[in-house]
Amino acid sequence: MKLVSTRNNKVSMSASLATLKGIAPGGGLYVPEYFPSLNEIGDLAGVSYEKLAAKVLSLFFDDIADMELLTKKAYANFDHDERAPVKKIGDKEFVMELWHGPTLAFKDMALSVLPRLMRAAMAKDNGKDVLILVATSGDTGKAALEGFCDVPGTRIIVFYPSEGVSDMQRLQMVTQGGGNTNVIGIKGNFDDAQTGVKQIFADSEFAQLIGDKGYRLSSANSINFGRLAPQIAYYIWAYNELVQREEIAQGDKINFVVPTGNFGNILAAYYAKRMGLPIAKLICASNKNNVLTDFFNKGEYSLDRDFHKTMSPSMDILISSNLERLLFELVERDSDKVNDMMSRLGSDSVYTIDGQAKAELEEDFYADWCSEAETMACINETLRDKGYLMDTHTAVAMGVYNKYKTGGDTTKTVIVSTASPYKFPEDVLMSLGVDSAGMSVFEMSDELSRLTGTKVPRQVAELKTKAELHTDVIEKTRLRNAVIGDISK
Ligand SMILES: *Cc1c(COP(=O)(O)O)cnc(C)c1O
């Protein structure tokens, strides 16, 4: 299938090449030319996660042969047979756990697949190796490292703020093995890392320089269509699970609640709906950085607000990049209108949508947010009342759902769980009333396990014995030199 750009609907490119390039010329995002129908993938009774994912991906990446082998390999190192298990926690409530991959967060669902899509695309392109540069605030870096580790024809360098990630996140990254990986700390914050990487991407002389060394640059962040497409599969999976268990009849509508940051995860659910999945409401859950809540409720997207650091850091974001793909649909794929909104966001830090567009959004979406106190209370109460332990991000979703359902909707609902509670043990323990001051992350994990009767995931236990391989920390002005040094080795 061909993809078009949100900022120029005449630009069209195959899905695999678009994945290799990452972003469209002029800053646009690649979107499918049309939404394929789920009818094309046929009966799903008894189909494994890998098979379903392959069917969904093939609708878009129709030029990649043997997609089933690709997804089979991609999910081989997940620690749950079902890959994305759906658990019943109440009469009408289910949780879909998307964190059984190598890094314990939902980013693995797509970043296990993306490098393999790129590799397949490279075979059709100019033959240069792909150099992936990532600036991370924690979760994406490790998931990308795992995904690209030892994938032939690729090299990955991750930059992280040396003082800005959690102990668990730092340990996960600096212990990364593989012959094609590098992890470098920056003396600065996440924005410094991000700015440094963006400058490299914008520098055509630099592209020439690394081109001469046999590389082309690409990106693994969530605006890459190759990250979006694999995420569509698990919404269809969850729906099918409820059908197979006779919780619903084929055709019945269900809700999804998604803890949202960059709007990538929930956008995949919206795409699934457009492809024919019977979804009633998509519930967009935010933390205190509630710019999306305001957008859905007021029709205005405004950056004129403070940035808050919260206990759900992967949702601490003010510019939700993937919202642009929803806007593109909302304005009936008129890229001039998208350009207009995006340039207003750049110049005035705000854009608005009209009343009709807002009413249309209300058909599909509901949005609300949780404070830090509400998030902590939700972790505590859900464990106490339902025996289910959640991480801080999932708790934001659950907290929003608890508020939503007081409105009387009794539709069966799947809450999307995006991280293992063991990825954020300090805040989860605090929510349960335990002060972990002075404990190492391993002691915290053991305490959490003892307290809740849940098992410490092997991904955490394994970290204990791994050597710290990547110890470089550089000045924030030295990213270019670090990249050159890396590929000259
Ligand atoms: C990235 C992330 C999110 C936010 O997902 P988006 O696709 O950016 O909306 C939520 N929870 C966790 C744990 C994450 O890592």
> 30-32 and 2-5: which strand pairing?
antiparallel
Report whether pLDDT(416) > 90: yes
**Residue 59: which of 86, 90, 38, 79 has the closest Cα?**
38
Residue 227 in contact with ligand 1 by CB distance below 6 A: no
For residue 362, what pLDDT is reported? 95
For residue 221, what pLDDT is reported? 85
For residue 22, what pLDDT is reported? 86
Report percent pLDDT > 70 for the chain.
100
For residue 23, what pLDDT is reported? 84
Residue 263 in contact with ligand 1 by CB distance below 6 A: yes
For 458-465, what is the mean pLDDT? 92
Dump pLDDT digits (tens) for 160-216: 999 878 888 899 999 999 999 999 999 988 778 888 888 888 888 998 999 999 999
Gyration radius of the chain over CA positions: 21
Residue 103 in contact with ligand 1 by CB distance below 6 A: no
Query: Cα separation of 291 and 287, whole Å?
Result: 9
For residue 365, what pLDDT is reported? 98
Confidence of residue 128 (pLDDT cuts 50, 70, 90): confident
Ligand 1 geometric centre to CA of 106 (Å): 7
Query: Cα separation of 432 and 420, whole Å?
Result: 16
Report percent pLDDT > 90 for the chain.
83
Residue nearest (by alpha carbon) to ligand 1 atom 11: 418
Ligand 1 geometric centre to CA of 447 (Å): 26
3-state class of 271 per DSSP?
Answer: helix
Q: Decide which of 3.30.70.980, 3.40.50.720, 3.40.50.2300, 3.40.50.1100 is the CATH code for 86-103+226-423.
A: 3.40.50.1100
Ligand 1 geometric centre to CA of 266 (Å): 9
Out of 152-156, 178-182, 203-207, 401-405, least confident range: 203-207
Ligand 1 geometric centre to CA of 260 (Å): 6
For 293-304, what is the mean pLDDT? 96
Residue 269 in contact with ligand 1 by CB distance below 6 A: no
Q: Which region holds residue 270: left if phi is over 0, alpha if psi is between -120 and 50, else beta?
A: alpha
Ligand 1 geometric centre to CA of 228 (Å): 12
- Parse the chain into domains and list their residue ranges: 86-103+226-423
For residue 477, what pLDDT is reported? 93
* Phi, psi torsion values for 235, nearest 5 degrees: -70, -40
Probe residue for ligand 1, chosen from 265, 283, 318, 369 as the CB with the greatest number of ligand atoms within 8 Å: 265
Report whether pLDDT(127) > 80: no
Report whether pLDDT(83) > 80: yes
For residue 188, what pLDDT is reported? 87
Dump pLDDT digits (tens) for 335-386: 999 999 999 998 999 999 999 999 999 999 999 999 999 999 999 999 999 9
Ligand 1 geometric centre to CA of 265 (Å): 7
3-state class of 88 per DSSP?
Answer: strand
